[in-house]
Amino acid sequence: MNIAAISHRTTIEYSYALNENTVVINLKTDKDVDKAYIIHGDPFIHELRGKQKWFGDKLEMQKLAELKYHVIWTVRISPKYKRLQYYFEVESMGECYVVCENKICPVSEADNTSWQYYKYAWLNSADIIKPPSWVKDTVWYQIMPDRFCRAADSPKNSKFKTWGDFEKPTWLDVYGGNLRGITEKLPYLKELGISGIYMTPIFRSGSNHKYNTYDYWEVDPDFGTEEDLTELIDKAHEMGIRVMLDAVFNHCGHEFFAWQDVFEKGRGSRYYDWFFINSEDFAKYEFSTEDARFFSFSFWSGMPKLNTNNPEVVEYFTKLCTHWAKDWKIDGIRFDVGDEVSHAFINSLNSSIKKINPDIFFLGEIWMDSISWLGGREYDSVMNYPLPGCINDFWKNRDLSFTDFIYSLNYCRTLYPEQTTLSLFNFLDTHDTSRVSEISRGENELLQKLTVLMTMPGTACIYYGTEIAMKGLYTPYNRSTMPWDEIENGDYDSIKSKISNLIHLRHQYKEFRSNEIKFNRHPGFPRLVDYTKSDKIRIVLNAETNPCEVSVEGDIIYKNNYSDGILQENGIVISAIN
């Protein structure tokens, strides 16, 4: 038995409260372990029973997921007295080992007088991770306002490029998309199946992307007015569509009032400690901050980094978000560069804003394992960057097998507590990545990737234009304008209809959103993707290079390139099992 591979700690990736009555305990082992058991009970039960030694009930654990080198075992326990003490026994090839907090030893050598047991001290309701319940059922649509739609009655402006002219894009191009344009297209989004809008920054800035904010309180005039924003939010809510704003609190733009004051007065500015300034001659007009004269986002001097450890900075943005939540009634806040702002800042902001609206959604932009931000007091969820990597890698590299794909998917869906997993922000592309259509081998492969997206646990997001297979390789080519004339002419009806059907199926069948997945391997067909959700929905995708014979039980609810029992290359068949 590979004892070194056995892992457990009483931290939320292994031990957490699922709800008011249930504790989930996970154990990671090597694949050589045949069975795993938990011995559990109240930590004081032996005293109640007049025993010298503690004892507990033995319960067999189940396999939650198989990873490339490990297996994760799980069990759910409802402790009668809200306390839980426990240890494990693992079996392999006739060997049996005890796993405690302070030692792993053979059962035959066990002497529990020296054991340090694991303990879930108390199931406090206030400590349960509770993302807003509505999030897991949402299908988001990410919009860059400048590129999505210019309202029909918008006045002409000479600085706006001709809509659709994207032959030689630059970082400075502005096309004039605005908030009223988004409002005009709400019926389009509703028909598509969208139930949430995530807009990139909308506040006053000198760029087209607005991530270098000058004034957090003013809607950028290029996009419209505060009245336009409230109209958009109100009409979206009337249609059952949530609205999430992008909060750029890690850094600001160079014309932000506090930075301008510091740039002018240096140490004499009352805002000096709002930033990270490291030299007396920091106020230089140079593009890069590689010299570390002050810290900035990605070495860009036009985006000085804000000191979110400073109580005044915390207070400033708390007042701002209070305004957003109370006066505009937004449904969510996406925090740009969410891993660089301080934990204390997000914790404080979460506490303040959720007193106004307990159902507001806090989403962090974090590109890696984010467990330390997801304990229930900071972000409700994060952008699940491992998932698009997993999906896009499988279709890019045809040497990868379905088994490899399973390992990657299982990694993505076992990183966090289950209630967090069900609220993860899943996507295939964003304004920061190549468009998924660009890196796919045609629309059929794109549909396969979107099928996986729509059938994974977590909330799903479509980047604007993905529904019509818009292309674009990295920035700025991934930020083209929506071709509304062609859309309204019906040029994209076929692909849009297929993607819309997938979205509506996700809404219709709760199993699409479930974390209960059974993978079905087919010897001899290493890239035939086949999995069942909650024993009720079966998804089969042919990523082989030849047709495959696939028998389907139940009713076919979605298909592409499937007929007479034959699933063509890049084909899809989804069935509802009776």
Is the model's pLDDT at 114 over the cut of 90?
no
Phi, psi of 305, rounded to the nearest 5 degrees: -80, 130
Question: Do residues 282 and 295 touch, judged by C-beta distance below 8 A?
Answer: no
Question: Do residues 520 and 403 touch, judged by C-beta distance below 8 A?
Answer: no
CA distances 488 to 188, 421, 483, Å, are 10, 37, 9
What pLDDT band is residue 52 in, cutting at 50, 70 and 90?
confident
The mean pLDDT of 2-24, rounded to a whole number, is: 96
Mutual angle of helices 493-508 and 443-454, in 10-degree steps: 20
- The pLDDT value recorded for residue 578 is 83
Asked if the structure places residue 563 within a domain, the reply is yes
- What confidence tens digit (pLDDT) does each residue in 494-521 have? 999 999 999 999 999 999 999 999 999 9
What range does the domain containing 519 cover? Answer: 513-576
- Residue where a domain terminates, one of 83, 102, 127: 127
What is the rounded CA–CA span in Å between residue 446 and residue 395? 10
The mean pLDDT of 235-264, rounded to a whole number, is: 98
Both tokens of residue 208?
A: 């087209």
Place of tokens 């897991």: 136
Asked if the structure places residue 564 within a domain, the reply is yes
> Which residues of 250-346 form beta strands (DSSP E)?
332-335
Residue type, 193: G
- The pLDDT value recorded for residue 546 is 95
> Which residues of 310-367 form beta strands (DSSP E)?
332-335, 361-364
Rg from Cα positions in the chain: 26
Angle subtended at Cα 173 by Cα 168 and Cα 174, rounded to the nearest 5 degrees: 140
CA 198 vs. chain centroid, Å, equals 13
- The pLDDT value recorded for residue 363 is 98
Helix (H) or strand (E) holding 507: helix 493-508
- The pLDDT value recorded for residue 38 is 98
**For residue 71, which of 1, 19, 16, 119 has the smallest C-alpha distance?**
1
How many domains, in total, are found in the chain?
2
- The pLDDT value recorded for residue 168 is 87
SS3 per residue for 206-267 = CCCCCCCEEEEEEECCCCCCHHHHHHHHHHHHHCCCEEEEEECCCECCCCCHHHHHHHHHHH
Asked if the structure places residue 423 within a domain, the reply is no
The question of whether 184 is a catalytic residue gets the answer: no
This prediction's pTM: 0.96
What pLDDT band is residue 171 in, cutting at 50, 70 and 90?
confident
Handedness of CA 307, 308, 309, 313 (dihedral sign): positive
Q: Which of 89, 336, 418, 429 is catalytic?
A: 336
Asked if the structure places residue 459 within a domain, the reply is no
Is the model's pLDDT at 167 over the cut of 90?
no
The mean pLDDT of 368-382, rounded to a whole number, is: 96
- What confidence tens digit (pLDDT) does each residue in 415-451 have? 999 999 999 999 999 999 999 999 999 999 999 999 9
Both tokens of residue 380?
A: 């409700």
What is the rounded CA–CA span in Å between residue 526 and residue 6? 29
Asked if the structure places residue 248 within a domain, the reply is no
> How many CA atoms does the CB half-sphere of 452 hold within 13 Å?
30
Rounded-to-10 torsion of CA 280, 286, 287, 291: -40
What is the rounded CA–CA span in Å between residue 75 and residue 47? 26
Both tokens of residue 39?
A: 């011995």
- Residue where a domain terminates, one of 127, 142, 157: 127
Q: Which of 365, 380, 530, 544 is catalytic?
A: 365
The question of whether 365 is a catalytic residue gets the answer: yes
Phi, psi of 40, rounded to the nearest 5 degrees: -135, 155
Is the model's pLDDT at 341 over the cut of 90?
yes
- The pLDDT value recorded for residue 172 is 87
Mean pLDDT score of the chain: 96
- The pLDDT value recorded for residue 400 is 98
What is the rounded CA–CA span in Å between residue 459 and residue 421? 9
* Residue 44's CATH number: 2.60.40.10
What is the rounded CA–CA span in Å between residue 51 and residue 216? 64
Helix (H) or strand (E) holding 16: strand 15-17
- What confidence tens digit (pLDDT) does each residue in 53-110 have? 899 999 999 999 999 999 999 999 999 999 999 999 999 999 999 999 998 999 887 7
Asked if the structure places residue 319 within a domain, the reply is no
Is the model's pLDDT at 364 over the cut of 80?
yes
What is the rounded CA–CA span in Å between residue 200 and residue 222? 14
- Residue where a domain terminates, one of 94, 111, 127: 127
Q: Is 573 helix (H, G, I), strand (E, B) or coil?
A: strand
Query: Lowest-pLDDT range, 111-125, 260-274, 277-291, 297-311?
Result: 111-125
* Residue 519's CATH number: 2.60.40.1180
What is the rounded CA–CA span in Å between residue 304 and residue 113? 57
